[in-house]
Chain A
Amino acid sequence: MSKILIRGAQVLGGEAQDVLIDGETIAEVGAGLSAEGVDTVIEAAGQVLLPGLVDLHTHLREPGREDSETVLTGTRAAASGGYTAVFAMANTFPVADTAGVVEQVWRLGKESGYCDVQPIGAVTVGLEGKQLSELGAMHESAARVTVFSDDGKCVDDAVIMRRALEYVKAFGGVVAQHAQEPRLTEGAQMNEGTVSAELGLGGWPAVAEESIIARDVLLAEHVGSRVHICHLSTAGSVEIVRWAKSRGIDVTAEVTPHHLLLTDELVRSYNPVYKVNPPLRTERDVMALREALADGTIDIVATDHAPHPHEDKDCEWAAAAMGMVGLETALSVVQQTMVETGMLDWAGVAERMSFAPARIGGLSHQHGRPVSAGEPANLTLVDTSYRGLVDPAHFASRSRNTPYEGRELPGRVTHTFLRGRATVVDGKLA
């Protein structure tokens, strides 16, 4: 294994320091480290060094929809975006509801070499919300699943949700809920409000998310388990999570980059690139989400990277698939919405995009570790002064359904290291 010296990087945005990587670990952190015996020196003055990012919410589509993404292309996209670990959602074909499927995804991740892939297991068989999957078997498999989610669908049956929350306590698991009351969102196409009324598109009311979150935090309290809420999108959801935390309920929550930046006003274009679930909300919601991420009510940023092939988006709004890719732009959006607005410093970004997601997902032994001697060398180097237009033609993801095409975003991941091996060098995949 080689020795790499990162020279003059601002560790977590702080003082400039040198970081020496020796093999798979960080050997030394300090000022003026010697380059003697080093194979590669990276001049990183002015760049920010972060622990490798961890995404708790990624759709890799394999098995079943390899035309959208594969574990390999998805992990290449993740590495490009500065990630060293991703949690792969269970809504594949077949659904990841057995030990066999989660082991397959886990093994494909191992083979990819770009990023660690931790499968998420489905809460219920076939995501149908009726019968619990073999949660224990998935945990005991080689994949060691600890996060369970029917994401894409809500576990709307209160009894099933209660049982899932209780059951995973046996092995320290967590249920990640896609909060969407199904009856209140029948035919929903976008956020319910002024714009949906004008455009004649079915409305997805905020209360459909908030009512499920309220129920689930109370269920988690009742059974003494922990629950994670996926992709919060409304100001009301923030208030409920804030209340639940103040009450001591073991709840964590995530927000996507797109819900920190984009609003439902964009849907006026009827461009399906903005069609996503939960939908883009209002400016007021965006501001509430940013504040909640800043004050810790929302624990993490998760991408909800949802690749779809071109033809699934190049159509009329109603026919288009929901979702947008996000791995390669997440850090830039967070820089723009949180860092450049003064709401978070880079240490705060590291907490919300690396330390906390690793903790919630049970990966803290490998990822989301301090940038210190003896730790695994999972690192991301960011040129924060960079400004450029987003060009999806350069994406590593197999799908290009980004809402940011042509938009100027700050920041660029110049290097990513997975256990000491560079997966991205000078902004290009290694």
Chain B
Amino acid sequence: MKRHLISAADLTRDDAVLILDTAEEMARVADRPIKKLPTLRGRTICNLFFEDSTRTRISFEAAEKRLSADVINFAAKGSSVSKGESLKDTAQTLEAMGVDAVVIRHHASGAPYRLANSGWIDAPVINAGDGTHQHPTQALLDAFTMRRRLVGRDAGLGKGLDGRRITIVGDVLHSRVARSNVDLLHTLGAEVTLVAPPTLVPVGVENWPCEVSYSLDEVLPKSDAVMMLRVQRERMNAAFFPTEREYSRRYGLDGARMARMPEHAIVMHPGPMVRGMEITAEVADSDRCTVVEQVANGVSIRMAVLYLLLGGSEPAVTTSTAARTEENK
């Protein structure tokens, strides 16, 4: 693996499968009475959040703590990218304090890339979401959830998602989740279709490794997983679509549409869900919807990523066995 995790596109198939397999090991920790491994004891990780995020920050923090890392949370709440608030200065302060890794969430696309490649800091950088660019651990946890549901927990070890048909629906234009998922799912062998009104499809999408459709109804019957994206209401004011009602009619997922999906097919959502517009409560609360699993899997994936970037050279399974032994002493 590379030293940093900036983009899902940076991951080879072997990298991605290793992370998913390692996450399966990490997931077992959650089933224990004491949900902790000593793997990153004495290591300091900073969660550098320039953008509000409850779900992702807590997920990373939980992962770090389960690996026994020391955690520093930096939340630049209410701040904006401005000259008064230099990412470089913040990074160098953290470097001086001796952090071993930085998890960064930033509203500017490319900020984690810049942090990792500008020479401002030596520590590994993990992108926890940057602007409309990438959110690689989200894509990994989505792939992990799909592999568990569509291939099977143990049966999935060592495997990708070859031949699985994944549909991603909604505001692709502004979605780092969609970008990350297209990259990673393609790497893992899945066939991805993006579904959105033409106004929410990026220019240049024809070069992406996926199909594009404007019709959700046509794609649903041949989907193994349907991932709904959040649509921000302010998009309506920018004339990306006429009304919420029209959007919901054409691209919302309700019970009737879900019934057109194959029986084994799952419904996914990166959260937070806005019920009513892109997904109805009936679908969100159904057994086929994996939103809660995705959250749980997020912790396992982030443990795996942190372990592999910081921990080291040995397979996680060895470490976890060692940890179990230690706990039993």
Q: Footprint of B on A, CB under 8 Å? A: 189, 192-201, 203, 205, 269-271, 311-312, 314-319
Contacts and interface: CB of A to CB of B under 8 A. Distances in A.
B113 interface: yes
B87 interface: yes
Given A197-B203, A198-B207, A311-B83, 4 more contacts: A201-B133, A270-B117, A316-B81, A319-B83
Contact of A314 (B82, B88, B107, B113): B88
Contacts, number: 80
B150 interface: no
Contact of B110 (A192, A194, A318): A318
B204 A317 contact: no
A197 B110 contact: no
B108 A319 contact: yes
Contact of A200 (B83, B117, B118, B176): B176
Contacts of B138: none
A311 B205 CA distance: 34
A333 to B, nearest CB: 26
Contacts of A196: 202-204
B12 to A, nearest CB: 18
Contacts of A197: 202-205, 207-208
B108 A199 contact: no
Nearest to B85: A319
B203 A193 contact: yes
Contact of A194 (B81, B111, B114, B207): B207
B320 interface: no
A193 B206 CA distance: 10
B106 interface: yes
B204 A201 contact: no
Nearest to B86: A315
A269 B113 CA distance: 8
Given A200-B130, A200-B176, A318 B109 contact: yes
Interface in B210-267: none
Contacts of A319: 81-83, 87, 108
A317 B86 contact: no
B131 interface: yes
Given A194-B207, A195-B204, A316-B106, A200 B114 contact: no
B110 A203 contact: no
Interface in B126-164: 130-134
B167 to A, nearest CB: 19
Contacts of A315: 86-88, 114
Interface residues of B, number: 30
A278 to B, nearest CB: 16
B269 interface: no
Contacts of B130: 200
Q: Which of A192, A198, A316, A319 has the most CB of B within 10 A?
A: A316
B134 A200 contact: yes
A199 to B, nearest CB: 6
Contact of A205 (B113, B176, B203, B208): B203
A196 B133 CA distance: 9
A189 B109 CA distance: 10
A318 B204 contact: no
A201 B204 CA distance: 13
Interface string B69-107: 000000000000111001110000000000000000011
A318 B314 CA distance: 39
A120 B133 CA distance: 39
B4 interface: no
Contacts of B202: 196-197
A199 B6 CA distance: 11
A310 B289 CA distance: 50
**10 A-B pairs with least C-beta separation:** A200-B133, A318-B108, A194-B204, A270-B110, A197-B202, A200-B132, A200-B109, A197-B204, A316-B111, A319-B81
B302 interface: no
A199 B203 contact: no
B203 A318 contact: no
A203 B81 CA distance: 19
A198 B205 CA distance: 8
B179 interface: yes
A203 B109 CA distance: 12
22 contacts: A192-B203, A193-B203, A193-B204, A194-B204, A195-B204, A197-B202, A197-B203, A197-B205, A197-B208, A198-B207, A199-B133, A200-B134, A201-B132, A201-B133, A270-B114, A311-B86, A316-B106, A316-B110, A318-B81, A318-B107, A318-B110, A319-B108
Contacts of B107: 318
